[in-house]
Structure 1
Amino acid sequence: MSQYQRLLLIINPALRHSPAINHAAALAKASGASLHIAALAKPVEILSLLEENVREKARKSYLQDHTEWLKSQAKNLRGRGIEVTMEVAWADDLQQDILDHVTEMQPDLVIKQTQHESALKRAFFTPLDWRLLRHCPVPVYLVGGDAHALPRKVVAAVDVSDTAPANSELNERIIQQATSVALQCGAELHLLYACDISAVYMTDMGGLALSDLTQDLRRNDEQSFLNLAHRYGVPADRHHFILGQPVSALSEFASEQEVDVIVMGRAQYHGLEKLVGSTTEHILYQVACNVLAV
């Protein structure tokens, strides 16, 4: 049985050319899951300037226009053999409305188009996608870039530097989720770990050299990664131990290897990380592919 029985797609009805519908439909078709499309519209500020009776007519007309469009989309998806339901509604608090939908529907996966925000804006406001990654109780599938709607290459990005039980369990969930998606979609499964040793350089007579401690840490991490790959039967040509800062290393790998989905873990947030964001959160703005956070 597929791990996905119910999918929840969140869209902005004003962005009708978003690829999120095609990506959600491809996953629903591949997994046999039902798909509910919630088109949540943010209030149009200019309507507040109108008289009350005129404002209400305009609101109804606005929703009706989007409802007719979404009905046609749902009809096309049903023609492809996908079980689809839909709704169009106002969302005064988009984050809370999405979380309320999750609580009510209990979907196996929430799908949404990545909403790119500038670095300046992120410095003052936590992006909606970051907030969903932090608070949504189910896995979140964020659609970005030009990846294939039906994934062809899925990468499970793990972290073997932390040997705590909680991190080991998260690695297992990442791999299991990635494996399931790859099997359902007929995609290649790859395993990746980005080992960041950039901060542990020391000066030597001949210039810069890695300390013995750093070399030991790298060897330990590489062996732990190989053990993990062997445990899950990942072929040698599909597991990748790479050096570099995780965000840039993952981004470069995804671009070079034409990755469709990166499956990553959602960390617990402490101190400054709440403000600057985690590796998974920053990846959203760096890669031209989808990110599945578990």
Structure 2
Amino acid sequence: MTVFSNVLVVLDPTDSQHKALNRGLELAHKQPCKLTAFLSVYDFSYEMTTMLSGDERESMRQAVIHDRELWVGELINDARNQGVDISVKVVWHNRPFEAIVHEVLEQNFDLVIKGTHNHDILKSMIFTPTDWHILRKCPCAVLLVKEHAWPDNGNIIAAVNAGSEQDHHQSLNQRVISNAKAMAKVLQGKVHLVNAFPGTPVNIAIEIPEFNPQQYNSAMRRHHENAVAELASQFDMAEQDTHVLEGMPEDIIPALATELDAEMVVIGTIGRTGFSAAIIGNTAEHLIDQLDCDVLALKPANFVSPLAKH
């Protein structure tokens, strides 16, 4: 079966292991798809050379692009010889995430594969890494790759927000589970459904003497267990493959991923931007650094990228 058919693989010249490319090729061997090996290049010094005319600067840019195209061509040569449908695209752009999103919008890619690095927490609060921009603004699915392998019979976690009655969360839950099950068929793996629910708010327990935290907790757990059971039944999933756990998703999901030695976590992200993103962030963003496996991030069906031309 084909889950993704038109895949943009983002190359990183500083990654000697070429995690994203290897993952893209692995996907192409497991299911039919077209790959595009993509590289965004930029050299500020070329733009600042006042001695050169506009045409000369453009000629130098094209020379750099051509050089990088040859480099990418060498990387994918073996795959091409093995019959993989893979092309090369190198662009000149000073903001890699914008180049990636524009390419997705123009060529209708349904998946972006990108290797990820461990983010410095302090830097992440001040400077938004390219990964996070892509998570927020890319309209298609994004697979952020780490070194973790994709062995057969592995585990895939579908992380849902089953307790929410908001339409966009319910829609995302459906997309997350559908994609997790589809990827499980491709990888010959098994899907686990996980839902985290918040514990008793301490401030309420302190401020309202008659508040019964145990009763509240039991009611909250039942609500989430019932919601997860309903989702599981919709997708013919066994009860033993569902996990309803108390805590924050960014704590619960990595712990379960470690326990199950998961190959992938599939998660929905609503793509906050601006001030709310800086203050609140997205669960997917908090998860990236804490997971040792791949993260497949999905947007709601009606998501429109802020970089889309109106």
Q: Same fold (TM over 0.5)?
A: yes
Change (3 A) 1:212 1:80: same
2:124 equivalent to 1:126 = no
Task: Please give the residue correspondences for 1:33-72 in structure 2 after superposition, counting only pairs within 5 Å.
Answer: 33-43=33-43, 52=52, 63-72=65-74
For 2:205, what is the secondary structure of its paired residue?
A: strand
Structure 1 residue 198, shift from structure 2 partner: 5.0
Structure 1 residue 21, shift from structure 2 partner: 0.7
Change (3 A) 1:81 1:151: farther
Change (3 A) 1:14 1:269: closer
Structure 1 residue 246, shift from structure 2 partner: 0.9
2:149 and 2:18 mapped to 1: Cα distance? 13
> 1:242 aligned to 241, 245, 265, which one?
245
For 1:129, what is the secondary structure of its paired residue?
A: helix
> 1:218 aligned to 213, 221, 224, which one?
221
Structure 1 residue 193, shift from structure 2 partner: 1.0
| 1:3 aligned residue | 3
Structure 1 residue 125, shift from structure 2 partner: 2.0
Structure 1 residue 213, shift from structure 2 partner: 2.0
> 2:167 aligned to 160, 165, 168, which one?
165
2:19 equivalent to 1:19 = yes
Q: How many residues align?
A: 290
Structure 1 residue 244, shift from structure 2 partner: 1.8
2:105 and 2:273 mapped to 1: Cα distance? 25
| 1:110 aligned residue | 112
Structure 1 residue 236, shift from structure 2 partner: 2.8
1:8 and 1:121 mapped to 2: Cα distance? 27
| 1:101 aligned residue | 103
Structure 1 residue 131, shift from structure 2 partner: 1.5
Structure 1 residue 13, shift from structure 2 partner: 2.7
Change (3 A) 1:79 1:55: same
Q: Which moved more, 1:104-113 or 1:118-127?
A: 118-127
- Say if 1:242 and 1:249, in contact at 8 Å, map to a contact too: yes
For 1:82, what is the secondary structure of its paired residue?
A: coil
| 1:152 aligned residue | 154
Q: Which consecutive residues of structure 2, in runs of 5 or more, have no partner in the other structure?
A: 207-211, 299-310
Q: Which amino acid aligns with 1:292?
A: L
Aligned-CA RMSD value? 2.9
1:247 and 1:83 mapped to 2: Cα distance? 37
- Say if 2:200 and 2:216, in contact at 8 Å, map to a contact too: no
> 1:293 aligned to 292, 297, 301, which one?
297
Q: Which amino acid aligns with 1:96?
A: E
Change (3 A) 1:11 1:290: same
For 2:193, what is the secondary structure of its paired residue?
A: strand
- Say if 1:22 and 1:149, in contact at 8 Å, map to a contact too: no
Change (3 A) 1:45 1:219: farther
For 1:202, what is the secondary structure of its paired residue?
A: helix
Q: Which moved more, 1:130-139 or 1:69-78?
A: 69-78
Any idea what the Cα deviations from partners look like across 1:188-224, whole Å, max 9, x if unmatched? Answer: 1211112221535837xxxxx8331221111111111
State the TM-score, normalizing by the size of structure 1: 0.87
For 1:292, what is the secondary structure of its paired residue?
A: strand
> 2:287 aligned to 283, 289, 293, which one?
283
Any idea what the Cα deviations from partners look like across 1:140-196, whole Å, max 9, x if unmatched? Answer: 111124243878321110011211222211100111111111112212121111222
For 1:211, what is the secondary structure of its paired residue?
A: helix
Structure 1 residue 24, shift from structure 2 partner: 1.0
| 1:183 aligned residue | 185
1:19 and 1:223 mapped to 2: Cα distance? 39
- Say if 1:95 and 1:132, in contact at 8 Å, map to a contact too: yes
Change (3 A) 1:12 1:106: same
| 1:257 aligned residue | 260
| 1:206 aligned residue | none
